[in-house]
Structure formats: structure tokens, C-alpha cells
């Protein structure tokens, strides 16, 4: 019994350690967008389904122990081979980074399959396989406690990662440590597989006593219950990630809540009462609506807490009802297979269907609506007492909801253009009567006035930090070279003069098309007097590629305009990235970092980076919203010497960092902590 428990715990722990680890590793390769984690979750759910299907097939085979040992040997051999060529057996080498940016989903799935696909598959199969073997070895004991143990191991793995593993170990060290844990797991499973090897004929005779298989309607209901929880998990994760940042903890927290609901639901402790949870879900829904209306003024911790509480209640409803529908032990692997199919279906919908079906993140609201329908179905047993009627009602509600959200809510007031892709939702909206705005989520990325197209607006007005720098730089109009990370509407191009060069780095193809003039909404780039270049793709990868090819850019000014939205790309503000920036900077070049942000204060992070590289820095605040399109802004200006920062027009407006201190640790590719800089 100890070996069964240890095997199940280890597999669950390792499954949910590798998820945030590999997610964080590949995140910088795809622009740091929340969709990276969402796509990774799709991979994990699909391979979880594959593992469950393998377990379902394996327990029906006479030589199941030998087959499983063969899979274990192949997996260990693969890890050994990858460890010889990669930094660790599960962290791919840099030459596997993507080249294109249009639809990264396929490349992400390929990377994950090659790096962790087979070991993840084996770990995924272990839970139902060991529980099936346990039920046959100890027929009088319940498998539900082992399922709870599996979820407890998963939850522990998730919580330990951001608390202990991530701060203490580099990603490569994490990869090797995880591999060592996997080898221990293989040893335990090998011993259990040997027992199944020897006892296979006896196990097979138990199949004759099996009860009738579950009906098709019951299987569909299992899939729908699991799929709804999965849909709500992923859509809530996207919602929360868009509001704060793409960091492992904000992936871990919703997933931990999801697992906690599994533990409670399958614990045999009777922690679920349908009517009580219906009332709680209604109250939590009102709370989230209130949070949405006051998002600009509420602390982010309150917002996250409200979303997570709603997620917990939704998942608890789905999983507890799933537990009430559980089959007898002989159909356990079938049950797990249907549950995993539902999880995969939710992931496929959020990642592959919703982006093409919806212009907004309507899948969150669709899931929200369907949980209400699910509760109504369960609270009306007189009318919907059979699995067939319940499954049919939920299916019809899901279909109707998709139609409403796809065709009834895609047209938003004042929206001239809207397109959703891997990197988010970009909209062009009327901005008053004489201007248009480019909006990404809740962040404005540019405003242009139709009657004064050369007017700098938003965070880039002439009195802003970057406006002062570009307007009064001694090389303005004399070959000034400006690099800009983040294109937006291309507003900064209005500062360009004859002979100047502005080079923009942008990962979102939709943003590039709009800024270049598609639809006729924005003309900052086409009207600029400077030479304009646009480099598509992740800025860091592009700068690394240029340096490797001997194309040092020698920027006089390097503008970092990637931190103003609520979902910041952390990989662009680390020690390794700043070393790259400085290699592309002219000897007296200046880094101008835009740090206006509703929830995060990047000032201490940039201060530590300046200290690390011996840079002078000042802050320029502009607190006045104007009637000509100016937004309050905060800019940090950094350079190796103080020649440019001593320009009177800049110095008179700048605040020094004399006497400033912070205990925040230097950010690197292996370490970052956004919770330390929450406002």
C-alpha cells in the first residue's frame, strides 16, 4: 500500500512541478503573452487524456506489467539522450526558439511534446493505472482516498514551485532536479509493474465480475462536467493574467484552486451541499460584477481574490457533481478517461475555437453562464432527473451561449475595428469626435487626432520624459538613431526628423498592420520625416539575432514601451536583457523606460538594474491629463554617463534617485517576483 501511495503522490507532484517550470522556460520565446500558458495548459490536458487512455487500454492487457516497463525504459533513455545535448533533459536548447510570430500555438505544442511529452504521458497515466491496480489488489478499500492523495500531491507541487523552487534554483537546475525526481518515480513504478507482471492472469479473471458499463449519456455528462470546470479554469486564468502579469504564480493560483476543489469533492467528507453552493455562487457572481465595475480603483489583491473565489465555487460544483456520478471501481479508468476528455475539450475550446469565434474574451462569460445552467439542471430533479436529459440540456445551453456571444456581443459600441489573435485583442475605437484610439485590453496604445495628425499624444506628449529626451537630444535631425520596443500606433515617429532613424520592434502582426496604415486609422509612421523600420517578432530574440549577425544597432535612444499594460513581459526587464540592450546602445546612448502602470511599480527593479550596470538614472513624471490627448506618465531615463541627462530641459523636470534604496533582489531570467512591486 505504501508503494501505491508513494507512486501516486510522486507522479502528481512531478506533473504539477513541470508545468510552471517549462511554462516559464518557454515564455520569453513567445513574447511573454498569457496565451503561452493557456496553450501549455492545452498540451497538458491533451497529454493527460492520452495518459488516461493508455491506462484504460493497459489494464485490459494480459502482459500489462511488461508493456509498462518497456515504456518506462524508453522514457528514461530519451531523457538521457536529451540531457546530453540540452542544458537539462527537459529544457530545450536555444536553437529551438521560434522564427515566425503569426501563430505560435503549433510551435509551442511541438516544443512541449519534444521536451516533456513522453515523461508527462507516463506520469499522467500513473494515477488511474495505480488506482486500478490498487482496487484489484485491495478490493475492499476505496480508491477515492488515493485520488485525493493524487490531488494533494499536485497541489503541493504547485505551491512549492513559486515559494521554494523558483527562488532557489535556476531553470536548468530545476530541470535536473525534476529529472532526478522522475527517476525515483520510475524505480517505484518498476517495482509495482513487476507485481502486475507476475499477477496478470489473476487480474484478468476479475473482469468477468464487472458490472454493466456506464451509459453513453452518463459518459457525456462526465465529459460536460469536467469540460465546464476546465473551461472556467482556463478562461479565469486568462482574465487574471491579463489584469496583472504573466508569471508562474498567477498560473499556479487558479490551478491550485482547481485542484483544491478536486480534493474536497473526492475526499468522502461530504463538503458539498448543492443549495448552499448555489447561493454562494450567486453571491460571488455579484461580487465579481462589482469588482469589474470598480477595477480601476480596487487593489489588485481584492480583484484576484474575487475571481479565485468564483473559480473555486464553480469548480467545486462541477467536481462534486462529478463525484456523485462516479462509477464502481471496475469502470474507474473509463471514468478518468471521460474526465480527461472533458478537460482537453475545455482547453481546445479556449485555445483553438474561442479565438476564432469571439472578438473578446467571451469564453469566461460563457463558462460563467453555463455554471448557472448546470446548477439549475441539478436543482430541478423532477424535470431533469436522468443523465440523458441533463446532458442534452447542458449541450443545448452551451450551443446557444456560443451563438449569443459569437454573434450577439461581438459588435461593441464605438468600435471601428476588432481582431483577436494569439497576443490578445486589438481594437480601434472612436476617441471623442475627432480622434481614434488603438486599445489592447484595457490599455490604450495610441490616440491620433484626425485634424492634427502630427500631434504627439497619450504617454508621449512633448512634456513627457521621452518627449523631452527626443525633442532636446543633441543629435535630433542629425542622424539620431532610436530603437523602440513596442510599436503601438507608432506615436513616437512624430518626433523623427530628416536624417533620423526609428526602428520599432513589435511582436503582434495586427498592431504592425494598423500602425502601417491598414484601414486608414493611423498615419504616424507614414507621415514621419524619419526613416522608419519595423522588426516583427519578440524584441529580445530579434536583438539577440542582430547581435549574433554582427548588426550592432548603436542606438542613441532605446525606448522600452512594453510595461504600461497590466500584463508586462517580465523577460524584457532582467539582468540578461539589459546586458543585451547595452550592447546595442551607443557610448552615450540613453535607455528610456516607460513605467506607467496601474498595479505595478517597476522603479525598484530598474534601480537595481542601473546599480548592476553602473548606469545613471533619473525619473520624469508627468501628472497632468490634458484636453489634447496627453496621459499622466512615468519615465525612467538611464545612461552610462550623465551627459544627456544634464541637458537643462531634462534636468529641470527630472527627479534624482539620491538616497533611494530598495531591498528587492536583482531580476534575472531565473528570478523575478512581481508581488514585491505591487502598488
**What digits encode the pLDDT tens for the residues 552-568?**
999 999 999 998 765 67
**What share of the chain in percent tops pLDDT 90?**
62
Question: Which string of b and e fits 280-298 if b means at least 16 CB within 10 Å?
Answer: bbeebbebbeebeeeeeee
Stronger pLDDT, 115 or 675, i.e. the higher one: 115
Confidence (pLDDT) at 207: 46
Decide yes or no: CATH 3.40.50.150 for domain 459-677.
yes
Per-residue pLDDT for 188 more than 90? yes
What is the DSSP track for 43-75? Answer: HHHHHHHHHHHHHHHHTT-TTHHHHHHHHHHHH
pLDDT level of residue 210 (50, 70, 90 thresholds): low
pLDDT score recorded for residue 202? 43
Q: Which residues pair with 634 in a beta bridge?
A: 621
Whether residue 111 contacts residue 2, with contact meaning beta carbons closer than 8 Å, is answered with no
Q: What is the pLDDT of residue 157?
A: 92
Asked if 436 and 450 touch (Cβ cutoff 8 Å), the reply is: yes
When mean pLDDT is compared over 77-91, 122-136, 435-449, the highest value belongs to: 77-91
Question: What is the spatial order of strands in the sheet that 655-656 belongs to?
Answer: 531-536, 501-506, 481-485, 555-560, 585-594, 633-639, 616-622, 655-656
Tens of pLDDT, residues 620-668: 998 876 557 789 999 999 999 878 999 999 999 999 999 999 999 999 9
Can you list the alpha helix ranges (DSSP code H) found in 380-449? 387-403
Could you tell me the three cell numbers for 36?
503561452
Residues 388 and 348: their CA atoms lie apart, in Å, by 24
Q: What is the DSSP letter of 483?
A: E
* pLDDT attached to residue 33: 79
pLDDT of residue 277: 96
| Highest mean pLDDT out of 30-39, 249-258, 397-406 | 397-406
User: Which whole number is the average pLDDT over 483-491?
Assistant: 97
Is it the case that residue 278 has pLDDT exceeding 60?
yes
Cβ burial, residue 486 (10 Å; 0-12/13-18/19+): buried
Least confident of 246-255, 270-279, 482-491, 591-600: 246-255
Q: At what angle do helices 300-324 and 362-379 cross, to 10 degrees?
A: 40
Instruction: Give pLDDT, residue 246.
Output: 53
Closest CA to 509 of 412, 420, 443: 420
Burial of 205 (0-12, 13-18, 19+ CB in 10 A): exposed
pLDDT top residue among 629 and 505: 505
Query: Tell me, what's the pLDDT at 625?
Result: 61
- Tell me the per-residue pLDDT of 406-440, one tens digit each, with 9 for 90 and over: 886 665 668 899 998 888 889 999 998 889 999 98
Lowest mean pLDDT among 385-399, 466-480, 535-549, 623-637: 623-637
Q: Which residues contact 84 (CB under 8 A, 6 or more apart)?
A: none
Alpha carbon distance 272, 270 (integer Å): 6
Based on its alpha-carbon atoms, the radius of gyration of the chain, rounded to whole angstroms, reads 27
Phi, psi for 483 (deg, rounded to 5): -110, 140
Cβ(507)–Cβ(536) below 8 Å? yes
Q: Which CATH code for domain 215-410?
A: 1.20.1250
Task: Please tell me if the domain spanning 215-410 has the same topology as the one spanning 459-677.
Answer: no
CA-to-CA distance for 43 and 20, rounded, in angstroms? 13
Q: Where are the domains of the chain?
A: 1-209, 215-410, 459-677
Element (H, E) at 280: helix 274-293
Rounded average pLDDT over 281-290 = 96
Per-residue pLDDT, averaged over 5-20, amounts to 94
| Architecture (CATH level 2) of domain 1-209 | Up-down Bundle (1.20)
Q: Per this entry, what is the length of the chain? A: 679
For the four alpha carbons of 259, 261, 263 and 266, in that order, the dihedral sign comes to negative
Amino acid at each position: 500500500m505504501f508503494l501505491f501511495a508513494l507512486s501516486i503522490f510522486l507522479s502528481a507532484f512531478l506533473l504539477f512541478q513541470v508545468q510552471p517550470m517549462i511554462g516559464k522556460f518557454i515564455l520569453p520565446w513567445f513574447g511573454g503573452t498569457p496565451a503561452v500558458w493557456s496553450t501549455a495548459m492545452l498540451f497538458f490536458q491533451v497529454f493527460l487524456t492520452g495518459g488516461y487512455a493508455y491506462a484504460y487500454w493497459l489494464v485490459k492487457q494480459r502482459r500489462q506489467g511488461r508493456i509498462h516497463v518497456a515504456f518506462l525504459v524508453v522514457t528514461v533513455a530519451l531523457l538521457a539522450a536529451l540531457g546530453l545535448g540540452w542544458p537539462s533533459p527537459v529544457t530545450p536548447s536555444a536553437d529551438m526558439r521560434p522564427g515566425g510570430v503569426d501563430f505560435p500555438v503549433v510551435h509551442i505544442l511541438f516544443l512541449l511534446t519534444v521536451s516533456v511529452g513522453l515523461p508527462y504521458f507516463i506520469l499522467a497515466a500513473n494515477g488511474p493505472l495505480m488506482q486500478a491496480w490498487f482496487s484489484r489488489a485491495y478490493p475492499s478499500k476505496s480508491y477515492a482516498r488515493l485520488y485525493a492523495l493524487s490531488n494533494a500531491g499536485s497541489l503541493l507541487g504547485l505551491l512549492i514551485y513559486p515559494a521554494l523552487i523558483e527562488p532557489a534554483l535556476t531553470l536548468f537546475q530545476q530541470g535536473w532536479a525534476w529529472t532526478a525526481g522522475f527517476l525515483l518515480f520510475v524505480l517505484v513504478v518498476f517495482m509495482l509493474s513487476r507485481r502486475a507482471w507476475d499477477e496478470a492472469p489473476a487480474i484478468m479473471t476479475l473482469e468477468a465480475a464487472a458490472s454493466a458499463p456506464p451509459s453513453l449519456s452518463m459518459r457525456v455528462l462526465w465529459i460536460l462536467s469536467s469540460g465546464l470546470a476546465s473551461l472556467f479554469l482556463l478562461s479565469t486564468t486568462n482574465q487574471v493574467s491579463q489584469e496583472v502579469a504573466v508569471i508562474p504564480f498567477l498560473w499556479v493560483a487558479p490551478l491550485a484552486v482547481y485542484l483544491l476543489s478536486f480534493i474536497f469533492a473526492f475526499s468522502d467528507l461530504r463538503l458539498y451541499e448543492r443549495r448552499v453552493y448555489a447561493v454562494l455562487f450567486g453571491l460571488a457572481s455579484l461580487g465579481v460584477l462589482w469588482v469589474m465595475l470598480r477595477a480601476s480603483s480596487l487593489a489588485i489583491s481584492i480583484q484576484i481574490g474575487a475571481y479565485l473565489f468564483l473559480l473555486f465555487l464553480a469548480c467545486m460544483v462541477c467536481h462534486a457533481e462529478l463525484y456523485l456520478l462516479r462509477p464502481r471501481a471496475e469502470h474507474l479508468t473509463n471514468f478518468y478517461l471521460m474526465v480527461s476528455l472533458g478537460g482537453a475539450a475545455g482547453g481546445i475550446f479556449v485555445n483553438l475555437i474561442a479565438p476564432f469565434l469571439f472578438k473578446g474574451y467571451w469564453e469566461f462569460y460563457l463558462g460563467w453562464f453555463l455554471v448557472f445552467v448546470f446548477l439549475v439542471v441539478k436543482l430541478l430533479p423532477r424535470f431533469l432527473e436522468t443523465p440523458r436529459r441533463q446532458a442534452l440540456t447542458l449541450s443545448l445551453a452551451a450551443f446557444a451561449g456560443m451563438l449569443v456571444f459569437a454573434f450577439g456581443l461581438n459588435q461593441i459600441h464605438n468600435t471601428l475595428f476588432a481582431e483577436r489573435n494569439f497576443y490578445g485583442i486589438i481594437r480601434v475605437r472612436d476617441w471623442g469626435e475627432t480622434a481614434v484610439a488603438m486599445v489592447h485590453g484595457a490599455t490604450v496604445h495610441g490616440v491620433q487626432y484626425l485634424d492634427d495628425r502630427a500631434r504627439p499624444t497619450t504617454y508621449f506628449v512633448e512634456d513627457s520624459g521621452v518627449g523631452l529626451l527626443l525633442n532636446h537630444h543633441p543629435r535630433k535631425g542629425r542622424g539620431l538613431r532610436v530603437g523602440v520596443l513596442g510599436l503601438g500606433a507608432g506615436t513616437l515617429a512624430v518626433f523623427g526628423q530628416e536624417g533620423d532613424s526609428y526602428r520599432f520592434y513589435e511582436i503582434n502582426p495586427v498592431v504592425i498592420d494598423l500602425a502601417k496604415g491598414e484601414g486608414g486609422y493611423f498615419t504616424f509612421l507614414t507621415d514621419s520625416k524619419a526613416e522608419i523600420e519595423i522588426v516583427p517578432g519578440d524584441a529580445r530574440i530579434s536583438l539577440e539575432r542582430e547581435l549574433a549577425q554582427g548588426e550592432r544597432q548603436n542606438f542613441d535612444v532605446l525606448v522600452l514601451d512594453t510595461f504600461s499594460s497590466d500584463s508586462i513581459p517580465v523577460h524584457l526587464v532582467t539582468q540578461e536583457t539589459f546586458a543585451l540592450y547595452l550592447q546595442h546602445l551607443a557610448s552615450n546612448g540613453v535607455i528610456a523606460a516607460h513605467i506607467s502602470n496601474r498595479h505595478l511599480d517597476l522603479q525598484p527593479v530598474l534601480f537595481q538594474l542601473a546599480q548592476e550596470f553602473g548606469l545613471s538614472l533619473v525619473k520624469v513624471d508627468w501628472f497632468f491629463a490634458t484636453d489634447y490627448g496627453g496621459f499622466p506618465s512615468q519615465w525612467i531615463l538611464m545612461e552610462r554617463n550623465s551627459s544627456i541627462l544634464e541637458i537643462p530641459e531634462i534636468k529641470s523636470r527630472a527627479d534624482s534617485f539620491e538616497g533611494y534604496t530598495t531591498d528587492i533582489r536583482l531580476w534575472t531570467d531565473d528570478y523575478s517576483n512581481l508581488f514585491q512591486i505591487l502598488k
